[in-house]
């Protein structure tokens, strides 16, 4: 497997456009089969999770045509009613569970392998299944496969015990064709949830209230050809902003929605960074005396859990004590041990990480455990003294479109290493 070799003490400088949101795209692709008529989707990020979903769609008989680098035409009119979804593909990404809601809505039937746990701890789907049952589906689990059947889906009132992006989206998909009104309370308000609702409505569904605590869906029978442009990826945007801030550089991010980044921007300002926003750009400039801050992750509009690791790397530069509390996932601190190998002073206390910042990191061989920890370790490598070698980099390609390409446009040098042969990134592509 290839490694990434990152020389230290680099500075990000320049401007770059943000790609389409991974967590909107991986919900909208499974949702596209609810309709039947063709749908046209733009600003789809070219990432491995999207390729996996396109393979799954094609294995079900869905016709996919590329209309440009980031544009797709999806025709599910001739797809098979019953497809055996390969566990090998399904287990690659948790978003495959969205096929439960969309197949149920289209055919009243779904057989989808349950998503496995992952690096963030157990990933239950009890709230998803609670919603499907409330809509009148028979829910069974046999040999790790979730089997759903419903003669007729009927609207229901559903209260989510946990604020869950996945459960909110999955139940919204199933309710799109249920008879009557479905009301889901205590829902996730992430911008990606709103983007999925907008896509469903573009196809002819009737979804109201996405982005608030209560979503109302009035089931419909007829859908129409639709086109939709995916929103910019706020997590990629936050990743790049924090990378530039950590290196003491300057970055102008284009094609973003600054209101989706309020919590990370507020934290960067608290740390002392100079942030300027316009309608669709965010600019960050380095700061001299970085301040330690406390970060608590919460569902949107709170500080996103997906930027917890990035915030931690940044705070290793702030002299003093910063406390980072993870309130969304059970165990999302796999990056801590790797950062400690690089010399970071971090102590764990329950679900909080106490960071004593101010001492530079030192380059070291480190292992990437999950997508966002991978991005954080890339940034740690950029700011460390000496060279850092990352293994397990396939995680990064799941969710960041051409990250190395973007970083090299911002003046960063990264090498690919395969069996001790090194290629500068720009030589490789
Ligand atoms: C989505 O995951 C995102 N993934 C995650 O991004 C993100 O970190 C997470 O939301 C939180 O914002 C996608 O959108 C594909 P949840 P999801 O259901 O839907 C518990 C990334 O790096 N829970 O909101 O799986 C769950 O255990 C990924 O891009 C239940 O208890 O997250 C967790 O503690 C990582 N029962 C909490 O809710 C359920 O039925 C939030 O999970 C469902 C969830």
Tell me: cis bond preceding 55? Omega within 30 of 0 counts: no
Over 80: is that where the pLDDT of 403 sits?
A: yes
Model pLDDT, residue 425: 56
Which residue owns the Cα nearest ligand 1 atom 4? 23
User: 170 C-alpha vs ligand 1 centroid, how far in Å?
Assistant: 12
Is the domain spanning 22-227 CATH 3.40.50.970? The answer is no
Please give the number of the atom of ligand 1 that sits closest to the Cα of 128: 40
If pLDDT is split at 50, 70 and 90, which confidence band does 191 have?
very high
Would the CATH topology of 3-12+290-428 be identical to that of 22-227?
yes
Which residue owns the Cα nearest ligand 1 atom 7? 306
Q: How many residues does the chain have?
A: 429
Do β-strands 250-254 and 13-17 pair in parallel, antiparallel, or remain unpaired? parallel
- The region, left, alpha or beta by phi > 0 then psi within -120 to 50, assigned to residue 369 is alpha
Model pLDDT, residue 47: 96
Pick from 264, 260, 240: nearest CA to 193: 260
pLDDT single digits (tens) 239-287: 999 999 999 999 999 999 999 999 999 999 999 999 999 999 999 998 8
pLDDT single digits (tens) 139-159: 999 988 999 999 999 999 999
Tokens of 282: 């965010």
CATH (residue range 3-12+290-428): 3.65.10.10
Please give the number of the atom of ligand 1 that sits closest to the Cα of 371: 22
User: 120 C-alpha vs ligand 1 centroid, how far in Å?
Assistant: 9
Active site residue 287: no
| Every domain of the chain and the residues it spans | 3-12+290-428, 22-227
Model pLDDT, residue 118: 62
Element (H, E) at 41: strand 39-42
Residues in contact with ligand 1 (CB, 6 Å cut-off): 22-23, 26, 94-95, 123-128, 162, 164-167, 188, 305-306, 328-329, 371-372, 399
Question: Mean pLDDT across the stretch 71-79?
Answer: 95
User: 328 C-alpha vs ligand 1 centroid, how far in Å?
Assistant: 8
Helix-helix angle 308-315:371-383, to 10 degrees: 20
Helices (H), 126-209: 126-134, 165-175, 191-203
> DSSP 3-state assignment of 410?
coil
pLDDT single digits (tens) 328-346: 998 899 999 999 999 999 9
Which residue owns the Cα nearest ligand 1 atom 43? 125
Q: Which entry of 118, 183, 220, 275 is annotated as an active-site residue? A: 118
Over 80: is that where the pLDDT of 131 sits?
A: yes
390 or 1, which is more confident?
A: 390
Model pLDDT, residue 428: 43
Which residue owns the Cα nearest ligand 1 atom 34? 329
User: 199 C-alpha vs ligand 1 centroid, how far in Å?
Assistant: 21
Which residue owns the Cα nearest ligand 1 atom 25? 166
Tokens of 247: 């290196």
User: 70 C-alpha vs ligand 1 centroid, how far in Å?
Assistant: 25
């Amino acid at each position: 497997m290839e490694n990434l070799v990152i020389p230290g003490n680099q500075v990000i400088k320049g401007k770059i456009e943000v790609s389409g949101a991974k967590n909107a795209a991986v919900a909208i692709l499974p949702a596209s089969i609810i309709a039947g008529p063709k749908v046209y989707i733009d600003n789809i990020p070219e990432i491995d999770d999207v390729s996996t979903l396109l393979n799954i769609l094609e294995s079900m008989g869905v016709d996919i045509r590329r209309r440009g680098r980031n544009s797709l035409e999806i025709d599910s009119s001739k797809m098979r009613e019953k497809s055996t979804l390969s566990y090998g593909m399904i287990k690659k990404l948790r978003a495959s569970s969205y096929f439960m809601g969309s197949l149920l809505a289209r055919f009243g039937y779904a057989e989808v392998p349950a998503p496995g746990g992952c690096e963030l701890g157990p990933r239950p789907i009890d709230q998803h299944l609670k919603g499907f049952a409330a809509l009148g589906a028979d829910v069974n689990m046999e040999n790790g496969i979730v089997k759903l059947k419903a003669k007729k889906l009927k609207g229901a009132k559903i209260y989510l015990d946990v604020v869950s992006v996945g459960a909110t989206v999955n139940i919204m998909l199933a309710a799109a064709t249920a008879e009557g009104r479905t009301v889901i309370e205590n829902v996730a308000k992430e911008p990606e949830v709103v983007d999925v609702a907008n896509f469903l409505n573009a196809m002819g569904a009737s979804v109201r209230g996405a982005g608030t605590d209560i979503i109302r869906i009035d089931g419909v029978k007829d859908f129409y050809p639709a086109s939709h442009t995916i929103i910019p990826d706020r997590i990629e945007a936050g990743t790049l902003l924090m990378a530039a801030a950590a290196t003491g550089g300057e970055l102008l991010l284009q094609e973003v929605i600054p209101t989706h980044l309020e919590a990370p921007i507020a934290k960067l300002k608290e740390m002392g960074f100079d942030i300027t926003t316009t309608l669709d750009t965010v600019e960050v400039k380095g700061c001299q005396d970085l301040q330690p801050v406390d970060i608590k992750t919460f569902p949107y509009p709170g500080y996103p859990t997906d930027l917890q690791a990035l915030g931690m790397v940044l705070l290793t530069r702030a002299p003093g004590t910063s406390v980072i509390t993870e309130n969304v996932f059970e165990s999302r601190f796999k990056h801590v041990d790797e950062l400690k190998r690089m010399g970071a002073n971090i102590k764990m206390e329950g679900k909080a990480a106490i960071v004593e910042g101010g001492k530079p990191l030192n380059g070291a061989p480190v292992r990437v455990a999950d997508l966002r920890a991978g991005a954080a370790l890339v940034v740690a490598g950029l700011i460390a003294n000496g060279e850092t070698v990352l293994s397990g980099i396939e995680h990064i390609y799941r969710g960041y479109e051409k990250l190395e390409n973007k970083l090299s446009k911002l003046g960063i040098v990264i090498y690919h290493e395969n069996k001790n042969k090194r290629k500068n990134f720009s030589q490789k592509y």
